[in-house]
Chain A
């Protein structure tokens, strides 16, 4: 009986495994197809060559990384500074801040993207790299605040006060005492912001301007235009780099960094509920 149960359990895991990976494996296999269609015509690196020679893909990768990095760094800085401020507020005003903080989390990306597009048009800003960056910072800050604020509230005030009593300037005491204590929150907030920005499509789609593509918007315009085998090659590379990054990060820290993305999503839903 127990063996049977174990067998069914394993079979079930196997089925879901196949469901999750079969499409990706197919993409990887077809990325080495020499022909353009979906018939197998022979092994080749044609699509990888095309991919590496394409300036538009190179640009999109650059934009994606720089926007994710800049927006998450700026969001972390803004987030940490405002957490200090929010933490010093009275309960009532803090509730107002948290309510506003929750709006982007509550809203669907569709509405957030559209509303930002309307804003940029209303104030007459030409959409482009800066508008995408602003939009990303906007949806990233709430994640930072949600990770940092609880940490900050747990910090031991007396250590900070002791440092001041011993003659440290407030800024120095803060840097030496408080920051190390809230560092885990800062790091996880930063990582969440980074991954959310990396994966965003909808908000970028509505706020981008001429010549600005991220990987997501580029894929969107490509796959709607017909059969694009170089997208298979891109998938393979992205999948492999995801594995390498996750394995490396798991080696570095025992904690599953891979869960960051789901954690961000969960944070979003928790906050919403």
Chain B
């Protein structure tokens, strides 16, 4: 029995080497300056306007994309529940298929529609729109919603379609109307799905630098772009690490909040 336990050791060593130590490196770089002396500067740098603004835009856009995905995805999941079981398999297949195309190509596809000569920009201009779509916050938001919508739809669908028909019928028998069934029964029961979906949309939106790079015309910088640039062009690893730590804190906070809602949701259920 003893040697069985030893089998877990290689993995422990692997994870310490490739996960724990690298994180300690980020932590270390984040708290020292270029000479190696301890400093808070890299952390406090987040309060400088050139970093605060991208963080603000990132938070706003990722919150907006999460809400939009939820607003679009929830009715869809409800409709799918009502659809015939046999058909819903095919429909769900259709809705997650785009997810299997490369993430960068999906974003590039929108560039093709929104950039000069693109179909959507041409139509907008024919309708009297003057200006650019690429390089605006709206274009980035669109990119986020498009890329992450399937990640919202699937957990919602999974949790809503798993609700037992008998539960809904019981509610109806007890006099609930359709709206009440939706808000008082289905909604609380789908909280775990909502939480999953929200996490799967919010975190990647908050940390992305690719969508803003491709659809933002390099005009709009998100916090992900700032961090990426500190490493790849400014070669200021200390500042980049400091800002990454801030980003990690934001992710942890959002997880903690969601975690609480999840617990409340499950007690309701």
Q: Let me know if chains A and B touch directly in the complex, using CB atoms closer than 8 Å.
A: yes
- What residues make up the interface of A, taking CB atoms closer than 8 Å to B? 9, 12-13, 16-17, 19-24, 26-27, 30, 37-39, 78-79, 81-82, 84-89, 97, 100-101, 103-104, 106-112, 114-119, 122, 134-135, 138, 141, 145, 199, 201-202, 206, 215-216, 219-220, 223-224, 231-232, 234-235, 238-239, 242-243, 245-246, 250, 256, 258-259, 261-262, 265-266, 268-270, 272-273
Q: Apart from A86-B11, A108-B203, what are 10 other A-B pairs with CB-CB below 8 Å? A: A20-B150, A85-B11, A86-B8, A88-B7, A100-B16, A107-B23, A141-B11, A231-B105, A259-B96, A272-B203
Separation of A13 and B18 alpha carbons in the complex (Å): 44
B20 contacts the other chain (CB 8 A): yes
Stretch at the interface among B33-41, B114-122, B162-170: B114-122
Stretch at the interface among B43-51, B85-93, B125-133: B85-93
Separation of A268 and B102 alpha carbons in the complex (Å): 19
A122 touches B25 (CB 8 A): yes
A109 touches B207 (CB 8 A): yes
Chain B 1-41 interface 0/1 with A at a Cβ cutoff of 8 Å (1 = within): 10011111111101111111111011001000000000000
Contact residues in A for B231 (Cβ distance below 8 Å): 114, 117, 206
Separation of A104 and B9 alpha carbons in the complex (Å): 18
Contact residues in B for A258 (Cβ distance below 8 Å): 93, 96-97, 100
By DSSP majority rule, is chain B's interface helix, strand, loop, or mixed?
helix
Separation of A250 and B89 alpha carbons in the complex (Å): 11
B102 touches A141 (CB 8 A): no
Min Cβ gap A270→B in Å is 6
Separation of A82 and B255 alpha carbons in the complex (Å): 28
B171 contacts the other chain (CB 8 A): no
- What residues make up the interface of B, taking CB atoms closer than 8 Å to A? 1, 4-12, 14-23, 25-26, 29, 72, 75-76, 79, 82-83, 89, 91-106, 108-113, 115-119, 146, 149-151, 154-155, 158, 195-196, 199-200, 203-204, 206-207, 209-210, 213-214, 224, 227-228, 231, 237, 240-241, 244, 247-248, 251-252, 255, 258-259, 262
Closest residue of B by beta carbon distance from A117: B231
Contact residues in B for A272 (Cβ distance below 8 Å): 199, 203, 255
**A-B pairs with beta carbons under 8 Å apart, 23 shown:** A79-B11, A85-B8, A86-B8, A100-B12, A100-B19, A101-B15, A106-B251, A108-B207, A110-B227, A114-B240, A118-B26, A122-B25, A134-B18, A135-B18, A223-B104, A223-B108, A223-B111, A238-B105, A261-B100, A262-B99, A262-B154, A269-B200, A272-B199
Total inter-chain residue pairs, C-beta < 8 Å: 248
List 10 tightest A-B contacts by C-beta distance, closest first. A85-B8, A85-B7, A115-B22, A38-B117, A82-B11, A23-B109, A269-B199, A262-B154, A108-B207, A242-B100
B210 touches A201 (CB 8 A): yes
Partner of A262 from the list B10, B96, B108, B116 (CB cut-off 8 Å) is B96
Separation of A119 and B27 alpha carbons in the complex (Å): 12
Contact residues in A for B117 (Cβ distance below 8 Å): 37-39
Separation of A222 and B137 alpha carbons in the complex (Å): 23
Separation of A220 and B240 alpha carbons in the complex (Å): 21
Contact residues in B for A202 (Cβ distance below 8 Å): 210
Separation of A23 and B102 alpha carbons in the complex (Å): 13
B105 touches A114 (CB 8 A): no
Min Cβ gap B102→A in Å is 6
B146 touches A19 (CB 8 A): yes
Q: A38-B117, A216-B102 are in contact. Are A118 and B213 (CB under 8 A)?
A: no
Closest residue of A by beta carbon distance from B78: A9
A235 touches B248 (CB 8 A): no
B15 touches A106 (CB 8 A): no
Contact residues in B for A220 (Cβ distance below 8 Å): 104, 210
Closest residue of A by beta carbon distance from B206: A108
